[in-house]
Amino acid sequence: MAPPPPTKKGNVARNHRISSRNGAERSAYFARREAAGVLRRVLQDDAARRATASIKSLVYSPSVRNKKATFALVCQTLKCLPIIKDVLVATQILNSKWKEIAMAGAVEKFLTLHKNKLEYALAKICARRKVKKIEDLLQNNCVPVASKPRYIRINTLKVDAEVVMQELGKTNIMVSRDDIIPDVLSLASGLDLHDHPLVRNGSILLQGKASSMVAVALNPIPGWKVLDACAAPGNKTAHLAALMKGQGKIIACELNEDRLKTLEETIRRSGAPNVDVVHCDFLDINTRDPLFKEVRAILLDPSCSGSGISAERLDHLLPSYEKGEDAAACKSDRVKKLAAFQTKALLHALSFPAVERVVYSTCSVYQTENEDVIKSVLPFAKSLNFELVTPFPQWPHRGLPVFEGAEHLLRTDPKEDTEGFFIALFVKKSGKTNRGSRLSSAKKLTRQKRYTPYPFCKLSAFWFHKRLTKQGSKKIKH
């Protein structure tokens, strides 16, 4: 008996199912493409040991459309990467033609043709390791990550805390206000707000508690000219603008072109009216340039190892990650080079003629990038009448006691409820005693060798710092 002819209603339902299936397949296809692009960047940077962006920042960039699916694919692929490599080696399908296939963009089709061979190799690996399924293979590659609250910062340029708490409450999101930073809210761990309307319109920023402490420590006065020396991705810049109530001027410097775009997007979304983004190297700034000679406060958050946010960055998923490697990493050539750059940048920040407050911060837990940098610049800072001041006196974790005055420094503990951050606050004293001492030292050094005294360029500042350090052990003769 022939089946009944399809009705109009049946055709509509069938077309809807086909359309939905095609839409889902198309979405999955683009998610795979986007995940492949993120993975390529992550693995290339990791192989070169130059992680310029974290997994999360790459996935949640404006260019990625299907963020949730892309993030899941990237994380799962990185978790399975050792097993994937073993399977590919066992099948030996990556032959001489592989590069041609990859160049042609037919990789997914090629792997699908070899699906049976790949599954057979995986089954043999499971049998050899005496496990029944792939999840059991992954157990050895898993690194437990402590559950921490999700922090967000309210953008007071657009909205106040009560409005945000009411909006989040409508979706049954439990919210509590932070007892240290009024504009920071604490939410449940693992909550994904990247697509929330308040995030998309810039009313709230997905910024950690420790990161939010940096701009507050600088405490710029509305109307000042402020410099954010290494500004991307821009969360701290936007926070400065909010603290200054949109008044005065903030100059946000960034050298990297890709990060510059992220910075510009963050500022645009935040609605900050008083930020000028400058594409330049902070170290190349002439401190006497009319654009910079009236800068009163500087936020310096330079490139660092990121060791304090390795869990948030998902570094444990990277091929280069090794358990217990911190002891060696803190003494690595990379960290030493970073510390040399950080020292040079801090010396330069302190040498701006009108600057009164300088905050130095890192998202590192290594002494090399933190206390050691501060200790090395202290003689120079004191010669310019700067002193270390205690930010957030009620905060329990202070600097490592490696020099007198380290108790003024601030650390946050990544094992507790924040990222691992370090903050040092330099404030210029109003008296003139140290200034006279500094000028006297400069004259002595100038008479000895015909160097140019203050004002300093970045090289003369570095030279002067070294000369002052030597004076502590050897008196200069005239």
Q: Is residue 259 part of a domain?
A: yes
Same domain, 166 and 293: no
Same domain, 372 and 349: yes
d(CA 350, CA 358): 7
Nearest Cα residue to 175 out of 146, 200, 147, 204: 204
3-state secondary structure of 195: coil
CA 453 centroid distance within chain: 37
Name beta bridge partners: 387: 427
Same domain, 369 and 310: yes
Same domain, 169 and 199: yes
Choice among 230, 304, 330, 363 that is catalytic: 363
Domains identified in the chain, total number: 3
Q: Report CA-CA distances (Å) from 359 to 374, 398, 410.
A: 11, 15, 11
Among 188, 205, 222, identify where a domain stops. 205
Same domain, 407 and 344: yes
Quote the pTM value.
Answer: 0.71
Same domain, 254 and 122: no
Same domain, 355 and 407: yes
Q: Is residue 440 part of a domain?
A: no
CATH number of the domain encompassing residue 408: 3.40.50.150
How wide is the angle at C-alpha 100 spanned by C-alphas 39 and 111, nearest 5°?
60
Same domain, 364 and 289: yes
Tell me, yes or no, if 304 is annotated catalytic.
no
List per-residue pLDDT tens for the chain, 478 residues long: 555 666 655 555 555 555 556 666 777 777 788 888 888 888 887 777 655 566 767 777 777 777 778 878 887 888 778 888 888 888 888 776 666 666 656 777 777 888 888 888 888 888 888 887 777 777 655 555 567 888 999 999 999 999 999 999 888 888 999 999 989 999 988 788 888 999 999 999 999 999 999 999 999 999 999 999 999 999 999 999 999 999 999 999 999 998 899 999 999 999 999 999 999 999 999 999 999 999 999 999 999 988 888 766 666 677 766 555 555 677 788 899 999 999 999 999 999 999 999 999 999 999 999 999 999 999 999 999 999 999 999 999 999 999 999 999 999 998 876 789 999 999 999 854 344 444 443 333 333 333 333 333 444 444 444 444 444 443 333 3
Q: Is residue 15 part of a domain?
A: no
Non-local (6+) Cβ contacts of 409 within 8 A are: 370, 371, 374, 388, 398, 399, 422, 423, 424
Q: Is residue 279 part of a domain?
A: yes
Nearest Cα residue to 185 out of 165, 210, 199: 165
Same domain, 357 and 403: yes
Same domain, 177 and 215: no
Note down the domain range covering 231: 209-435
Amino acid (1-letter code) at residue 28 = A
Q: Tell me the two tokens of residue 430.
A: 């109003």
Cα end-to-end span (Å), the chain = 117
d(CA 211, CA 232): 13
Q: Is residue 13 part of a domain?
A: no
Same domain, 284 and 383: yes
Same domain, 181 and 121: no
